[in-house]
Amino acid sequence: MSLTDSKRLAAYKAVDTHLNSATRIIGIGSGSTVVFVVERIVQRGNVKKNKLDGKNENSNQVLEELDLAQCVFVPTSFQSRQLIIDNGLNLGEIDQYQEIDITIDGADEVDENLNAIKGGGACHLREKVVAESSKKFIIAADYTKKSTVLGEKWIQGIPIEVIPFCYSLVLNSLRLLGCQNLNLRMGKNKAGPIITDNGNFVIDAYFGKLDGQQFLGSDKFMFINSPSEVLKRIKLLTGVVEVGLFVGMAEIAYFGEDDGHSVSILKK
Ligand SMILES: O=C(CO)[C@H](O)[C@H](O)COP(=O)(O)O
């Protein structure tokens, strides 16, 4: 199965399993997988016309029609905002809603405890705000994103959003934390660093691969076994706005597998 089909499979499964006629406020993540989340939501807006009869793999479920006119969609980036508008869905802003019913988002890597690395698209600040405001945070991803421990697959480093004038200080502080490889993320077709939707820079911080299984920073700083510790240590650095480590946030993750099946991992 192609990567694109795998993303579509995971996205459709997440939408079909979790969105029903009572769902009203929906967070929309960012990235290429989320395009299929929105595609499926639009299809579910007219179940009969789109001949959706619950042929969802491994299930006889009858897909309920979504009353899209009654739903509001909260974006996590410029990209997802455009996706919402282009599909004629009702746009809401995060500061209007203290509580979101459900958010579906992609991820760059998800470990077996559902901790995730996000921010490959530099959207992790808003993604985290929307996820944290959600009663349910669901991940949909292709098969390349599933791992045992974080860092196994996403080797370009933890995305860290920083205030621009602080970037040099943060680079230095990360070095002192034992970070081995640091990159200020550069724009494509733009001279200089990328600028996030919030006007900030992104640093990708790689803490070094000791062997196939372990990431270590300093001798005391074990990456994989303690993503929450890594998150805390980086978040405390002056100038850091948000870290692309989503620890214990997702309730369930859906993956489109290479063989055309989907699998899900539930929070333990
Ligand atoms: O965190 C993200 C953006 O900041 C995305 O969710 C992540 O990069 C996954 O993207 P894709 O669905 O294109 O694989």
Bridge-based pairing of strands 100-105 and 134-142 is: parallel
Sole residue written with tokens 């579906």: 104
Separation CA 5–CA 8 (nearest Å): 5
CA distance 253 to 145: 11
Is the distance from the beta carbon of residue 123 to the nearest atom of ligand 1 less than 6 Å?
yes
Q: What percent of the chain has pLDDT over 90?
A: 75
Ligand 1, closest atom to CA 7?
A: 12
Identify the pLDDT of residue 161: 98
Query: In angstroms, what is the span from residue 239 Cα to ligand 1's centroid?
Result: 24
Which pLDDT score, from 0 to 100, does residue 178 have? 78
H/E segment holding residue 252:
strand 252-256
Q: What are the Cα distances from residue 81, in Å, to 34, 135, 186, 221?
A: 11, 21, 23, 38
pLDDT tens digits, 198-217: 999 999 998 765 443 444 44
Residue scoring higher pLDDT (213 or 235):
235
Helix (H) or strand (E) holding 158: strand 158-162
The Cβ of residue 114 has, within 10 Å, a number of other Cβ atoms equal to: 21
Mean pLDDT of 103-124: 97
Amino acid present at 171: L
The tokens for 204 are 């990708």
Instruction: Answer whether residue 133 shows pLDDT above 50.
Output: yes
pTM: 0.93
**pLDDT at residue 168 is higher than 80:** yes
Q: Tokens representing 7? A: 């993303």
pLDDT on residue 206: 83
Whether ipTM exceeds 0.95: yes
Please tell me whether residue 82 adopts helix, strand or coil conformation: helix
User: Is 227 close to ligand 1, i.e. is its CB under 6 Å away?
Assistant: no
User: For residues 46 and 135, what is the distance between their CA atoms, to the nearest angstrom?
Assistant: 25
Residue 240: strand pairing partners: 162
pLDDT of residue 221: 37
CA 156 – CA 34 distance, rounded (Å): 22
Interval between CA 124 and ligand 1 midpoint (Å): 9
Torsion of CA 171, 174, 188, 130, to 10 degrees: -120
133 Cα: distance to centroid of ligand 1 (angstroms): 19
Instruction: Considering only residues 181 and 8, tell me which one the structure prediction assigns the higher pLDDT.
Output: 8
**Between 30 and 49, whose confidence is greater?**
30
Quick one: pLDDT at residue 224? 52
- Residues tagged active-site: 127
State how far Cα 64 lies from the chain centre. 26
Q: Which long-range contacts (CB under 8 A, 24 or more apart) does 42-48 make?
A: 42/68, 42/87, 42/89, 44/15, 44/16, 44/19
The mean predicted confidence, pLDDT, of the chain is 90
Pair 244, 234: CB distance under 8 Å: no
Which tokens hold the place of 6?
A: 């795998």
